[in-house]
Structure 1
């Protein structure tokens, strides 16, 4: 029997959130399908304009019985109407699970669905969600979170990760992997993976500094001296050091440490590697040096990250 997905839209919703529907569409085309029936819903029905001005045809809220009800997000926190919140509350009670994309978490909170629950949203709005709804447990650096029957995701393309996770929970890892392969996306970023990317945060302005950072990320096990990075950028040591700091706001050594910490965290969250093995693989001289780097970056040691990953998996 096909599982029904109701996606709740509202004027000004972020159109990229419809990529979640594509996950279910591609799943339907796989052997054994169709697996899902998706419906676009809104309070009044008819065409609903996205934030990009593209209209999407919807059905009016009616019977709330869906397997999964999902709430789309927006570029900013949008005010909810009483009718929208009431339907969301009723639909959640009548559905097997409820999910939010990006700022949709604010609507879940307004409907009283997040009391005491772990939740995530776009990193830029996570603290506002926590401020407005102090009884939630907002985790601002997560791609998606499952707390019992309530799921939530970060912003923008994280809706794809959320939808793939729902497919995996429904029909298994092989179907989710096949869908991801067809869509040419990762299968899948783990829920605990950071929303941030060290390379994006550094924001190098020139191709040469970008080349040096890419070289560093691919060769973390090496010592990666300033001279070696300068050679990768085809610059003199003096030019490289000056340009690097101007473009990234960091020294080369600090940037390499950031890349190593990020790689180490990914290994810890996605595998069952011993801490000393992780330290060696990402280029730290010893586990103690990595521990100090983790505390500088995240405020906790690698062991705490490992425990959190195990708890999340469980």
Structure 2
């Protein structure tokens, strides 16, 4: 049996309840769709005291932070109106530092970055937080390279995310890191969320922008492509799923997406692979398998065609490069 991944969410009085619900809810759904190994998610506070959230809802803690021992997979510190008080609590900071030393990765949601910074865990790292709090964080912690533009930032094994619902984007990224893009997309659809946004990339691939709502067939295929990147997505397979001929499928894609089925699939795979290259330590060969490419060399060529850079270069760049314009489509007889 797989050993569960232990996830501990750290709360305190004045915590934002959405900062807790977004990661815990997404991980619960991932478990339900077969995440292996699954996660166990616990809420921890100092002394196992109930946390009075900023909305007035009182949350019962499952663990006292002082009693948590052993390895953790992920330590998540949430934000909220009480973040500055939490960042000034020496006992809380001591426990956060101790637990971080025994965690595979550490993350903050929104102004939870204040707690990580006060604990010294963001020193000499690039980090983000809610856009309205970034200047104050930078003033109080000059050793932190604060950047409020991205939705989330990974620096080594430390992740920070922007305001509130960006916690969902971060969690979907962690699910993708651990289990692949198919499960991450499945969780996003279950949450009725947009196909999840990467830290430094447009929310939805331009080649797979949502078609008109009345065209249910194309809409279904777009979702199927996004959630099944490692499967057979050739024109014949997609046409069979839609119950149309490959020729008619091509006409539909040209009319509603401005591209061919084959190119739409290649772009979706390439952009998913780019997110993994920039947010994970997986090899190009492993990423190629997860995203439906036959080999690392095929993926390398896809990156060159789409971004003009190799995977290694993409991983080292500070920002995601823009996609190259799609080649002009030839008209019949041209």
Is 1:101 the equivalent of 2:109?
yes
Match of 2:40 among 21, 37, 41: 37
Separation in structure 1 between the aligned mates of residue 105 and residue 59 of structure 2, nearest angstrom? 24
Is 1:11 the equivalent of 2:13?
yes
Written as runs of structure 1 = structure 2, the 5 A alignment for 1:71-110 is 71-75=77-81, 77-80=83-86, 81-110=89-118
Q: Segments of 4+ in structure 1 off by > 2 A?
A: 31-34, 75-78, 269-275
Separation in structure 2 between the aligned mates of residue 274 and residue 87 of structure 1, nearest angstrom? 43
Please report the TM-score for the alignment, with normalisation by the length of structure 2: 0.58
Is 1:163 the equivalent of 2:163?
no
SS at structure 2 position matched to 1:78: helix
Partner of 2:193: 185
Is 1:129 the equivalent of 2:137?
yes
Please report the TM-score for the alignment, with normalisation by the length of structure 1: 0.62
Alpha-carbon distance change, 171 to 136 in structure 1, aligned in 2, over 3 angstroms: same
SS at structure 2 position matched to 1:176: helix
Question: Which ranges of structure 2 fall in alignment gaps of 5 or more residues?
Answer: 204-270, 276-302, 309-316, 323-334
Please, what is the CA RMSD of the aligned residues? 2.5
Separation in structure 1 between the aligned mates of residue 122 and residue 12 of structure 2, nearest angstrom? 20
Verify the 8 A CA contact 1:27 1:34 in the aligned structure 2: no
Deviation digits for residues 202-235 of structure 1 (CA, Å, limit 9, x no counterpart): xxxxxxxxxxxxxxxxxxxxxxxxxxxxxxxxxx
Tell me how far 1:50 sits from its aligned partner.
0.4
Is 1:144 the equivalent of 2:152?
yes
Verify the 8 A CA contact 2:15 2:82 in the aligned structure 1: no
Is 1:2 the equivalent of 2:4?
yes
Alpha-carbon distance change, 54 to 194 in structure 1, aligned in 2, over 3 angstroms: farther
Separation in structure 2 between the aligned mates of residue 13 and residue 144 of structure 1, nearest angstrom? 19
Tell me how far 1:156 sits from its aligned partner.
1.1
Tell me how far 1:160 sits from its aligned partner.
0.4
Partner of 1:239: none
Partner of 1:27: 30
Verify the 8 A CA contact 1:70 1:99 in the aligned structure 2: yes
Alpha-carbon distance change, 32 to 308 in structure 1, aligned in 2, over 3 angstroms: closer
Tell me how far 1:75 sits from its aligned partner.
3.4
Match of 2:119 among 100, 108, 111: 111
SS at structure 1 position matched to 2:18: helix
Verify the 8 A CA contact 2:13 2:51 in the aligned structure 1: yes
Deviation digits for residues 147-194 of structure 1 (CA, Å, limit 9, x no counterpart): 110001001101101111111111111111111111111231111258
Separation in structure 1 between the aligned mates of residue 27 and residue 50 of structure 2, nearest angstrom? 22
Equivalent pairs, count: 209
Verify the 8 A CA contact 1:143 1:194 in the aligned structure 2: no
Partner of 1:67: 73
Tell me how far 1:34 sits from its aligned partner.
6.3
